[in-house]
Chain A
């Protein structure tokens, strides 16, 4: 079962953070179809947040078709985001690790690597739209 955490300073509403974390977990294969999401009571108690916030996040996930509530039992994952691409994760991760090693050997520090990646990522995204 996944565990949630909240970043109080991110400015992002808590329920959105929860949704984001579920989606992230689905993409990374940490959650798959049929898995149970943590109980509302446990999330509320663990994070000291309003249960309604958790309910709202779960309802939103239901609306997106990613989860479904079974009354009296809990909320379960019904959809998936990873899809076939999960299989490609392995080789892609391996490629990334090699690229990172090359970047370090070239003398880039963490901030430069991150800046390089983000700018390339964004440029590629805009090129896709265009």
Chain B
């Protein structure tokens, strides 16, 4: 049965292996140069304030090629589970039902349970291995960039995405494993219930995409209780500031990163007064045009006791988050697999 499962997955495996090989070549071609640039930047073992400056120098050196390759790899890693769910998972049972080959397979001398178990294992393990392999390759290649970001480097376009950013979190670490397993079993289940390949593919895509939007937005931030920090408004480096109302009487200030903690995951921020209440009214003294539009606006707010409160998840929890999200998706995958077995054994029609 293992032979048959592999034989039926042959084409899909070849395509996936080819894609993997293509990326391997691209990474091998550009990786060493990237590493040598990093070595020359003097960032290894750097301590102190000038590290951020060095990091920015290093990141600024990277030409467009690196950005393109990085983006392409991340995109493929993010898409891979969906593609697997559609082309490996959905047809697994549905196609056999549609073409009638299920009658051929299920009347040999093995039970349906064994048939499905082998196919799920071969397909599931293959899916996880391929997706994770691509993720690991990309992580190895992009390691220097990650380290530079850790030193507070930024302003390098797409390469500045932190570990907790939506794109990076979903394509690095072990989450690709969970997504691949889930999308695959989702496809198989959809095929088992719907019994026709194309509708099963559509449903798989819809559900997987929905989850990939819902979980990062409303699930992931709440895996662990967030921490709060109150920082001086003047120490903020990257901000989003809007001023409005008559005579600039109101303002909205959001911090885009946490001073001194570049790798932490910033969830939300808001301005509070000395009593800790949220404020959006500009103090009268700071509404003068010269102050409002200049670099003194933030110090002016600070002098009136306005500070920024930031809700965040510390960088040290990165792996806790990874494990939690992967565990959730793997649990879903197992539940779906279980329902597949029930579906296949039920001999209603």
Task: Give yes or no for direct A-B contact (beta carbon below 8 Å).
Answer: no
B residues contacting A by CB (< 8 A) are none
A residues contacting B by CB (< 8 A) are none
